[in-house]
Amino acid sequence: MILNKSNDHYGHVFGDVVLKEFANVLMGSTRKSDFVIRFGGEEFILILPVTTLNEAKAIAEKICSTFAMKHINQGGKSLYFSASFGVSYIHPEIDESSSQRHISELIDEVDQKMLLAKQLGKNRVIT
């Protein structure tokens, strides 16, 4: 999401509006069993239980397209923003002793995929 640019060009109040709109798209695109966690200023982690990698990719692509079509008004202009996703999968049968290490590696892997998505032109999903 290009939240930094919205903050730089339009101020932090407008950046908060963009962030809230993105959160609304996230909540409207996920199931009650899913977890939406704000991980950083403009980064979120979605935990999608009982979901295959292909299903998670489809959910992320739906969020990307929904958010890209959403206009946000600023000073009489309709502005559009994008989101990029890195998607990975964790097998539910990982034993508890290795899960903590594995989760931190998984977050790093997803972060690298998200950065690649941004480098490839944003508004995309990398698995």
Would you call 42 a catalytic residue per the annotation? Answer: yes
Q: How many residues in the chain? A: 127
Residue 85: in which H helix or E strand, if any? strand 85-86
Burial profile 108-123: b = 16 or more Cβ within 10 angstroms, e = fewer: eebbebbeebbeeeeb
Q: Which of 42, 43, 61, 109 is catalytic?
A: 42
Q: Which residues are catalytic?
A: 42
